[in-house]
Amino acid sequence: MRKNLFYIIVLIFILTSCFKEDDPMPAFPMQTTTIEMGKYYLYQVYFDLASNEKVLVQEKNDYDLAFECGDSSWHIQLNTAAFMFAGNTGMKDFEMVNDTTGLDWQFDKSDGDPDSTAIGQWLTFNVNDTVYSNHVYVLNRGYDHLGKVRGLKKIKFTKVDSTVYLFEYSDMNNENYNAFEIRKMPGVSYTYFSFNDGGKQLEMEPFTDTWDLLFTQYTTLLFTNDGIPYPYLVTGVLSNYGHVEMAMDSLTSYEDIDLNIALSKSFSKAKDFMGYDWKDVQGDVNSGNVYYEIVAGRNYLIRTQEGLYFKLRFINFYSDEGEKGFPTFQYDVL
């Protein structure tokens, strides 16, 4: 009897050893990562936290407009990294628009709200059809990374459906006229267009489920001491709008932040929540003799589209050679 019991115990041990136990999640070591934007902030870098990868690097001068890609989407955004802005002339006759007199220039809001764009509501949805304003817009294309003016264009958006956008554009004197079709692309939030080379569609954004953060210049509203808003070109970080949310903790030390603290926070979907003010300008702004200093104690909490929580802090804005435009940050999974 004892011998049989012994064999049974051995058999159970052999059988159970055949089943592999669930492997525990591997430890995610703290990452220290540098993003190479360059001293003129030419490069835009898409970054994925879980893989610690720079998913895509592109030049900020390469495009002008971004077109929303969902089947029922219709929003159009400017290249705010180039300090672009737009004015709605209210006129429908394309050829009659030839100057910028009296235009109310508008900028895209940096929080990512698609209903707060410079182009705005260029169409109205009725029960049975879509009514297009057919207004002519003037686009100021802003500046390149060296401060060179990119010029003006006028444009009229004439159609959108589940697959395409239609629009026409030209120089202000009606030269270089073109009618163009942008096709919506699957898997991305936006597809892109450039006036360069006579006009071209560009794929400048990685698939939506592959990135979390975008290191870039962008336009935002700042305020004078008297509370008067003014647009300004800043350098910072934007998030994957609608897929990544953030919070901040400036009271707890970075080392002590854990998942429980993260879960107690209210998270924001604002695209510019991390923004630019994790660094501060020191020195004489008027003379240009300035340098950037990381703001101490500013810890960011990030909830990604995979449901992961991370903590992140910036530690430097300079390369080893002392060149600005190389933000370095540390982050951990919670």
Tell me, what's the pLDDT at 12?
A: 38
d(CA 237, CA 45): 9
Mean pLDDT, rounded, of the chain: 91
pLDDT (tens digit, 9 = 90+) per residue, 286-323?
777 888 999 999 999 999 999 999 999 999 999 999 99
The pLDDT value recorded for residue 27 is: 56
Q: Are 176 and 196 in contact (CB under 8 A)?
A: no
Q: Which residues pair with 130 in a beta bridge?
A: 125
For residue 4, the tally of other CB atoms under 10 A from its CB is: 8
Span 180-191, average pLDDT: 97
Q: What pLDDT does residue 237 have?
A: 98
Is the pLDDT confidence value at 111 over 70?
yes
Asked if residues 49 and 68 have their Cβ atoms less than 8 Å apart, the reply is no
For residue 12 the two structure tokens come to 């159970």
Burial class (CB in 10 A: 0-12, 13-18, 19+), 266: exposed
- 305 in Cβ contact with 243 (< 8 Å): yes
Task: Give which of 310, 312, 316, 307 is closest to 333, Cα–Cα.
Answer: 310
Q: How far apart are CA 100 and CA 154, in angstroms?
A: 10
Helices then strands (H, E): number in the chain? 2, 22
List phi, psi (to 5°) of 214: -125, 115
Give the integer Cα–Cα distance in Å for 268 and 260: 17
249-269 pLDDT, tens digit per residue, is 999 999 999 999 999 999 999
Q: Which range scores top for mean pLDDT: 111-115, 172-176, 283-287?
A: 172-176
Q: 13: pLDDT confidence band, cut at 50, 70 and 90?
A: very low
Which is it for strands 43-48 and 85-88: parallel, antiparallel or unpaired? Answer: unpaired
With bands split at pLDDT 50, 70 and 90, how would you rate the model's confidence at 3?
very low
The pLDDT of residue 115 is 87
Integer CA distances (angstroms), 197 to 138, 200, 238, in order: 19, 7, 29
Tokens standing for residue 295? 């703001």
Among residues 164, 117, 141, the alpha carbon closest in space to that of 62 is found at 141
Q: Is the entire prediction scored with pTM above 0.85?
A: yes
Query: For 77-86, 118-127, 148-157, which range has the lowest pLDDT when averaged over its residues?
Result: 118-127
Q: Give 49-67 pLDDT, tens digit per residue.
A: 999 999 999 999 999 999 9
- Per DSSP, the three-state class of 294 is strand
